[in-house]
Amino acid sequence: MEQIASPAAESGYHFNVMRRAIDLIDGADETMTLDRLAAQMDMSPAHFQRIFSRWVGVSPKRYQQYLTLGHAKALLEERFTTLDAAHATGLSGTGRLHDLFLRWEAMSPGDYAKGGAGITIFWGWFDSPFGLALVMGTERGICGLGFAAEMGEDWAMQDLLRRWPKAKFVEDPMRLRPWVLAAFGAQEAELSEAPLYLIGAPFQIKVWEALLRVPSGHVTTYSEIAGSIGNPRAVRAVGTAVGRNPISWLIPCHRALRKSGGLGGYHWGLPVKRALLAFESARAEA
């Protein structure tokens, strides 16, 4: 298993600590003090604060606000992104995509219809800021990224494998490592960008392209995405396409929310979605 070394990631340990904190925060009647939260985590206050400050750059007290269930609604009020405006400022497929430098291309509809026949997909497990991550990629770029923290390793593997049933899969984490380092902003990354290779139906790719225009620390809605791709009535179909996004985090489906402020669903587990949103909000503040 490859380990991503960066200021934001020391294997999946920090995420696991944060995941336990979510349960504690949800079960509390009021905001938990640093001492109380650290005690519940079986850590000293200084150690607990050091972990969180290193992970996101803000204190645990501040971070709690981002982990609350009401944070999504606050994001819609304060950091809602109109996708047409995002596109106009260059946050598109060839520009600066959210907080990561990415470039992407999509498989042709004809090749997609073949179910991955004739394509070799390399895969490997990597530690990430959000727990254990399964990364897959073709010769052209990353085509799959999933998290196992909530759903388990076997489930994550089978989920990605069945998306391209006729492809040849080869375990080769070292081949993917330079792309993964760049994608997660690791200190030792030698590449300036991580290439993505979108494998999906034409409608799905339109939705994923729209997601790529949502900046880090901001959110949008399923209905906004539907309008931006010229099909405002296709909100349900957009939600399905968002859920079928095979490249979590890099194609930021976690930034799509319901108009009501609800989180909506998340393919890799809602605690992971909350962690992603909280992490980006804290980093934006820091």
Q: Which residue is it, tokens 């959000």?
A: 130
Among 73, 90, 108, where does a domain finish? Answer: 73
- Per-residue pLDDT, 187: 64
What would the pLDDT profile of 84-116 be if each residue is shown by its tens digit?
A: 544 444 444 333 334 445 678 899 888 888 999
Q: Is 253 a catalytic residue?
A: yes
- We report the CATH number of the domain holding residue 29 as 1.10.10
Could you tell me if 28 and 11 lie in one domain? yes
pLDDT for res 8: 37
8 & 140 share domain? no
pLDDT, residue 160, reads: 96
pLDDT per position as a tens digit, 230-253: 999 999 999 999 999 999 999 999
Q: Report how far residue 279's alpha carbon sits from residue 144's, in angstroms, rounded to the nearest whole number.
A: 21
Residues of the chain with pLDDT under 70: 1-14, 18, 22, 26, 55-58, 67-69, 82-102, 186-189, 285-286
Q: How far apart are CA 63 and CA 274, in angstroms?
A: 11
Given the residues 133, 142, 207, 253, the one annotated as active site: 253
Q: Structure pTM?
A: 0.79
| Residue 65 and residue 117 in one domain | no
Question: In the prediction, which pLDDT does 45 show?
Answer: 87
Whether residues 35 and 167 fall in one domain = no
Last residue of a domain, one of 73, 101, 117: 73
Domain that holds residue 232: 77-285
- Provide φ and ψ at 125, rounded to 5°: -95, 140
Is residue 64 located within the same domain as residue 138? no
Report DSSP letters for 6-61, one per residue: ETTEETBHHHHHHHHHHHHHHH-SSPPPHHHHHHHTTS-HHHHHHHHHHHHSS-HH
Q: What is the CATH number of the domain that holds 265?
A: 1.10.10.10
Number of domains in the chain: 2
Q: Are residues 86 and 65 in the same domain?
A: no
pLDDT at 286: 60
pLDDT at residue 216, rounded to an integer: 80
Domain-terminating residue out of 40, 73, 106: 73
